[in-house]
Every structure is written in C-alpha cells, then in structure tokens.
Amino acid sequence: MLLHNCRRSASSEFHHLFKLLVPEKTLLMKFAFSLTVSSGVSLCFPLALQDIYNLCAVPTTSQHEIVRVVGKWTAVFGAGALSTYMRRLAIEDLSNTVAMKMRIEFFEDLLRKKYQVFGENTTGDLSHQLNSDIWTIAYTITNEFSSAMRGVAFFTGGAGFLLYTCPPLTMISLFPMMALASISKYYGNLLRRERETQAIYLRQLNSFAQERLVQIKTIKHFTAEGIELKKYAEKQTKVYNKAIDVARYSAKHHALMEAMGQNAVLWCLGYGAYLISTGSGLSVGALTAFAMYSVYAGLGFRLLASGYTELKKAAGVYNKILETKSSIDDKEEILISPTILPKSTVGPSIIFKNVSFTYPGREIPVLDNINLEIKSGEIWGIVGPSGCGKSTLFHLLTHLYAPTSGLIYIDNVDIHTKPAWWARQQISIVSQEAPLFSGSILDNIKYSNPNATMEEVIDACKRADAYDFINNFEDKFDSEVGEGGSALSGGQKQRVAIARALLKTPHMLLLDEATSGLDHQSEKTVQGILEREVKNRGFTVLLISHKIRTLKALTDRIAVLHAGKIIATGTFDELKESKHI
C-alpha cells in the first residue's frame, strides 16, 4: 500500500513536471524522432562489431565484402551522428524555451503578488528560484529526461538482445544489475534528501550575500567587513560540508555502479569463454556483441536510475516554486500599460472611517479606529512620535495593505471595491529614501509616465529644481544614476524623485518625511520646491513631517497621532494653542 502510494505520488510529481513540456509540441516531436534514431543507431554498434569479427573469422573474405560491410555501417553511423546533432539541438532549444517561459511566468506572478504577502520570502530566495531553480527544472526535464529515455532504449534493447541470443548468459550478466537496482534506489533516496538540505543552505548563502551587497555602504560605515566575511565564510563552509557529504554518497554510488557494471561484463565473458571451450556453437563475434550488449544494458540501467533520481530532485524543486506561486487570494490585478490620468483642477476627498490595522503576523494593532475626513484639495499634516503609525496610514491609502476593519474612501468610492492600481494611479509619493533604479536620469523620471514628451519631462524637472544640475552633467538626461541612485547626491536624488512624482500628474501627493534625510542646504531647496508645488494645489496633500516650519507654512489642518490613535485634529494655530504640537 505504502509502495503504491509512493509510486502514485512520484508519478503525479512527474506529471506536474512534464506538463511544462506539453506546449512545445514541435520541439518535442523533433526531440522524440532524433532520440529514437540516435538510440537505435547506438544499439547497432555491437552488431557492426559482430559483422567485422565474423569477417575476420573467415580467412577467405574478399576485399569487396569488407568494403561493403564497412560502407554499410559507416552510412548507418553517419545517420546516427546527424540524429545526435538534431537531438542535442532540440534538447537545448527545449530547455531554454521552458526556462524562458517559466521565468517570465514566475516574474509576472511575483509582480502580481499582493505586497502584504510578499514579505514571506526573502528577495535572495526569490531570485535564486527565478534563476537557478528554474534552470535546474528546465535542464532536468530535457537533458536528464533524454538520458533516462536513452537508458530505457539501451536497457530494453540490450537485455532483449541478450535474452534472444543466450538466456543462460543473460542471467549471469543481469544478476549484478539486480544488485544495481537496489543500490541505486537506496542512494537515490539518500542523495535526494541530502541535496534538498544542500539547496536550503545554498539559498541562505545567496540571500545573505545579496543583502550584504545591497547594504555595502552600511558595512563600510561600521567597518564591519571582517565580521561579514566571517559570517559568509561560516555559511559557505556549511554549504561546502554538505556538498562533500553529497559528493561522498554520490562517489560511493558511482563506484559501486562501476564495479557492478564491469563485473556484469567480466562474468558474462568468462561464462561465454567456457561455453566456446565446450563447443556450444557460440562464435567469438556473437560473444563480443553479447558482451557489448550487456554493457549497453548496464549503461542503460545506470542512465535510467540517475535520470530518475534527478527528475525526483527537480520535482521537489518545482514543488517549492509552486508553493511560492501566489494563490488566487494573494494576487492583485495589474496594469499592463499604465494610463496617466489627466491633471485634476482640485484633488479628491479622502475619508478614513473607523480604520484599524494590524500587520500580518503581529498581534498589537498599529492603527486603532482612525477617523479622518480630508476635503477635496486640502493639505493635511500628519504628526506624532516615531512608530505611532504615520507611514502605515500611507500604506493603507496606497492599498499596499488592507485595513483589518473599517473603510477608506477616495472621492466617496470605497477603495477596496476597486483594483489596487485604481488608488495608486492617483497618488504620487515622495519619501525619505527617494528610491531610484539603475539606468539613466531620463529612464528614472519617465518611470512614472513612459509616454511623456521631452517638454513634459523638462517642465517636471524645472518644477523640481532638477533641470540645472541635470544639464550640467556631461551626459545630461542620459547620465547613469548608478545602482539605487548611488551616483547622485542625496539632494539630487530627491529632486529627481520629485520630478518623477510630478510627471505622473498626481491627484494626491503623499510626502513622507521627504526632506528629513537631507543636509541643510538640500533640505532648504527641496522644502522650497514642495512649498511651491503644494501651494499650486491641483491635488490633495498628506504630509508627514516633524518640521514645525513646514507644518505652519503648508498645512490647512493637522492630525496628531499617538500610539495608533488620532488624539487631536485642527489648524496649526489651534493645535499650538492646545499644546499638541
């Protein structure tokens, strides 16, 4: 019963895996055809040897006969070489096609994943799955599958020939193969378990390295290179030790397989020699072909066994990918080609009604029964001590998370009755980090509006006070910003981020401590830009700031948050009077 279940689960695992090949019908047909021909031709090799040996055994053989036999087999092996070429090409095409399609589909799945479920996997883990794991699967279901199929052909062809020509000899050469079967099964299971652990260690190493390289500046600031190197070396040693365990089992497996395979031939030849010596009628040519077929049968068995082990491993890796893939509930609708909204004359109203929120996996609510009514085009300040939930309010408005209870309205529309992009499309957010992508300044600015004209880009840059410094760069708008914008100063990065936010023609502007990471001069510049833009109105503004000057100069009203609750709302002067700010 247990065995039956194991077989059933292995076949359903493989079924999942091979479904990946189904769409590639043309390539599969090329592959199947070339595999059949090349395996068939390989199986003929011992027959060719048998022919030649038999010619040698007859001293009166004519030269013409030798040329004819050699010519016939040369043509057969020529066709075999052609089919091997086709098979290799079809396999490579298949693996790369499967990997390409899987990667695009997986990447799309990641982009569709709701932000709130994203945090369950580290980025290192995801990029390992996207690159390495998908390649392992694509490679295995093509290359290893091809080897396993050749194994089937060699084993059945070889064993069939043996049985047909001399059953007693067959029993002798197949006996070591029975031993091989149980050895392979034992080591196959052991290796699969060990390799799974090895893959986990490798992923941990990958995630660690990726995070450290992203944070290289922090490492340098804390002169922590030595500590990080030690940690990396420890993790790498764990990977190495596991790899050696795997290698040890694998080496034992191969050594036993080799010894058994050689013994199969040796015992078979020995017994064959005995049969010839007893005058049984067995020819030297037939014995040679027989010995070669027993090699084929052994080799076929070996290919089949290792193909099976590798396919099981790939099935495990594929299961992990299927687990990472989002369920329907974890996905959100995405815009394939973003549409830019027309400029609004006045921004929308925003209402938070009895909104409470607890982060997934946490128990204590971060926001507790928030009620806020922001009128169309108003500028609101959000203030409160660190950790009181100010940024979380923005996360809910931009639909990155859904409230645990309560409703959020934009222009009297409950945002959760709309796809997530509906709210995001109307919002531009400028935060402390100014996250940029590697690429040119122009790429980064047009990120919010890929169809913008150069005039619109220049206008946004002028409004963001970025035009002059961009123009002073040697490559102007084509200048590279470096990874994460590392080739720009903090103030320049922030101004590029503001230009990008403005080019989107937002209906709502969310400013999250947009100037707090800057030096005094840059802060003054960026502050000035924001004051100018915010005063221009045309959008509703929510701004998180600790700066009294900003709050006084810009806001119509302010909400004071404390431990996730709104404890006061009013104008700057009212709140000053009541000593809330």
Ligand X SMILES: Nc1ncnc2c1ncn2[C@@H]1O[C@H](COP(=O)(O)OP(=O)(O)OP(=O)(O)O)[C@@H](O)[C@H]1O
Applying CB under 6 A, which residues contact ligand X? 359, 362, 366, 384, 386-392
Running DSSP on this structure, what letter comes out for residue 478?
G
The residue among 276 and 563 lying less far from ligand X, judged by its C-beta, is 563
Q: CA 95 to CA 314: how far, in whole Å?
A: 13
User: Who's near 368: CB < 8 A, 6+ residues apart?
Assistant: 356, 563, 564, 565
Residue 304: other Cβ atoms inside 10 A: 22
Sheet holding 405-410, edge to edge: 367-374, 350-357, 405-410, 413-414
Q: Tokens 């994460």 — which residue?
A: 484
The residue among 146 and 494 lying less far from ligand X, judged by its C-beta, is 494
* Cβ-contact 343, 187 below 8 angstroms: no
The residue among 380 and 477 lying less far from ligand X, judged by its C-beta, is 380
The residue among 430 and 470 lying less far from ligand X, judged by its C-beta, is 430
Q: What's the min distance (Å) between Cβ of 545 and ligand X?
A: 10
Q: What's the min distance (Å) between Cβ of 320 and ligand X?
A: 24
Q: What's the min distance (Å) between Cβ of 234 and ligand X?
A: 28
The residue among 391 and 440 lying less far from ligand X, judged by its C-beta, is 391
The residue among 359 and 422 lying less far from ligand X, judged by its C-beta, is 359
Q: What's the min distance (Å) between Cβ of 388 and ligand X?
A: 4
Q: What's the min distance (Å) between Cβ of 373 and ligand X?
A: 21
CA triplet 9, 15, 16: central angle to 5 degrees? 95
Q: What's the min distance (Å) between Cβ of 387 and ligand X?
A: 4
Q: What's the min distance (Å) between Cβ of 406 and ligand X?
A: 16
Residue 73: other Cβ atoms inside 10 A: 18
The residue among 366 and 501 lying less far from ligand X, judged by its C-beta, is 366
Q: What's the min distance (Å) between Cβ of 212 and ligand X?
A: 21
The residue among 350 and 388 lying less far from ligand X, judged by its C-beta, is 388
Q: What's the min distance (Å) between Cβ of 259 and ligand X?
A: 57
Q: CA 264 to CA 300: how far, in whole Å?
A: 13
The residue among 307 and 389 lying less far from ligand X, judged by its C-beta, is 389
- DSSP per-residue codes, 172-215: HHHHHHHHHHHHHHHHHHHHHHHHHHHHHHHHHHHHHHHHHHHT
Q: What's the min distance (Å) between Cβ of 362 and ligand X?
A: 5
Q: What's the min distance (Å) between Cβ of 13 and ligand X?
A: 35
Q: Determine whether 329 is exposed, middle or buried from the number of CB atoms within 10 Å of its CB (0-12, 13-18, 19+).
A: exposed
The residue among 386 and 417 lying less far from ligand X, judged by its C-beta, is 386
The residue among 366 and 526 lying less far from ligand X, judged by its C-beta, is 366
Q: What's the min distance (Å) between Cβ of 86 and ligand X?
A: 53
* Cβ-contact 499, 304 below 8 angstroms: no
The residue among 25 and 362 lying less far from ligand X, judged by its C-beta, is 362
Q: CA 553 to CA 572: how far, in whole Å?
A: 9
Backbone angles phi, psi at 541, to 5 degrees: -125, 135
Q: CA 192 to CA 305: how far, in whole Å?
A: 13
- DSSP per-residue codes, 24-43: -HHHHHHHHHHHHHHHHHHH
- DSSP per-residue codes, 377-402: T-EEEEE-STTSSHHHHHHHHTTSS-
How do 413-414 and 405-410 pair as beta strands? antiparallel
* Cβ-contact 202, 195 below 8 angstroms: no
Q: What's the min distance (Å) between Cβ of 511 and ligand X?
A: 13
CA atoms within 13 A on the CB side of 32: 8
Q: CA 424 to CA 170: how far, in whole Å?
A: 73
The residue among 384 and 491 lying less far from ligand X, judged by its C-beta, is 384
User: Who's near 132: CB < 8 A, 6+ residues apart?
Assistant: none
The C-alpha torsion from 271 through 274 and 279 to 282, rounded to 10°, is 30
Q: CA 338 to CA 421: how far, in whole Å?
A: 9
